[in-house]
Chains A and B, each alone.
Chain A
Amino acid sequence: MARFVERMQCVPSILAAQNARLGAPLTSDDLADVVQDTLTSIWRKLGEFEGRAALETWVYRFCFLELMNSVRRRRRRPEPMHEEESVAERDDTGGASPAETADRELIHRVLDRLGPPASDVIRMKHFEELTFDEIGAELDVSPNTAKTQYYRGMVRLREYLDAAEAAQ
């Protein structure tokens, strides 16, 4: 258990780093609450982690989406945010603009809608930068099968994004 707790210490670190890259929209207290929500989300899905990705890479999307949920809730609150509450200054080393962040959130959510195996292949290709040979080896399929799953997944993902963007 101690080892597992130690491994999950990456969650608050990822959340803090992401918050900084977004310009620190959340306070320290908010972030601590998001840690709890994120760990619960991860716990729910733990059975789906098959060791194909590094634990931190797998955990990342839970951190990102829970952080965005929290930012959305915070914006709904009536009280203004105080500058001194921010946990960190904006990360000026390449942090994303609000439009870029919104696009990335949409990407993560439609990938979840797509589901495996196509979403796994697409994440391995673009998030972990694996080759199709490596993806095939990870998923125990031929590289050609991985390519076909990738292409079909991309076509469906494009349709989902078009629908989402049309609705917005």
Chain B
Amino acid sequence: MSEEHLDAHLERVLTGDAGLDDPEVAELLASRPEARERLRALEELSRRLDDAGGEARATLDASSSVAAAPGSERVGPVLRGLVRESAPARIPIRFVAAAAALVFFAGLLWMLGPGSGEPREEPGDVYLGDGAIELLEPSGEIGGWGRFRWSSDLPAGGWFTLEVRGADDPPGTAPIVRETDLTENEWTPSRDLPDRIRLRIVAHDAGGVPSGSFERELSLSR
């Protein structure tokens, strides 16, 4: 039996389409110890995810009965501050349709108009680790977008996330590019990017905790 067939059978078991008493599944598990081990590991992961999901639901249930939570008074000022710092948002239509309540928010952003002319500041002080990442390429005059390379001591088992946004996109806008699993300290875009971009790279340790970050606006020289 090929690896593809093995996965097909394990997928049926994991998604509930087949039980362990299914003849083909039973035969597979009896004859392939690695199939038994893979299924055991996936079922254990499924239980951990169920636990995490249960905790999330329990927390959300408990949150509905919290009265006067600390920081409640900051929600309005913080959000208004973020709106002021932003250019008009290009909020996806699906988002607006699904969360009709947020239409007010989108409308307000548009009303702020593109001509406010105030320099945009970075959003608040979100914790992204203590380490620094230095961009090595591109440097100096940038004629076109090619390879991006950066220096960073990636912790063992860690990874980088990389996001590219248009330089004028507000922080809430979905990135043009989002790579969530880079293990090398370089990346080459496979699509055209705008002349002015905002590049954000975050290094994570093996447990996913941010260990360093880099964020800067970059422009082509032309």
Contacts and interface: CB of A to CB of B under 8 A. Distances in A.
Contacts, number: 252
Nearest to A59: B60
Contact of A12 (B48, B55, B75): B75
Interface string B45-83: 110111111011111101110100111101110111011
B204 A16 contact: no
Interface residues of B, number: 79
Interface residues of A, number: 91
Given A47-B89, A108-B52, A154-B42, A1 B70 contact: no
A37 B74 CA distance: 11
Contacts of A5: 75-76, 79-80
B123 to A, nearest CB: 5
Contacts of A134: none
A147 B17 contact: yes
A98 interface: no
Given A16-B66, A47-B172, A34 B71 contact: yes
A50 B102 contact: no
A14 B63 contact: yes
A143 B87 CA distance: 39
A127 B79 contact: no
A13 to B, nearest CB: 4
Nearest to B157: A167
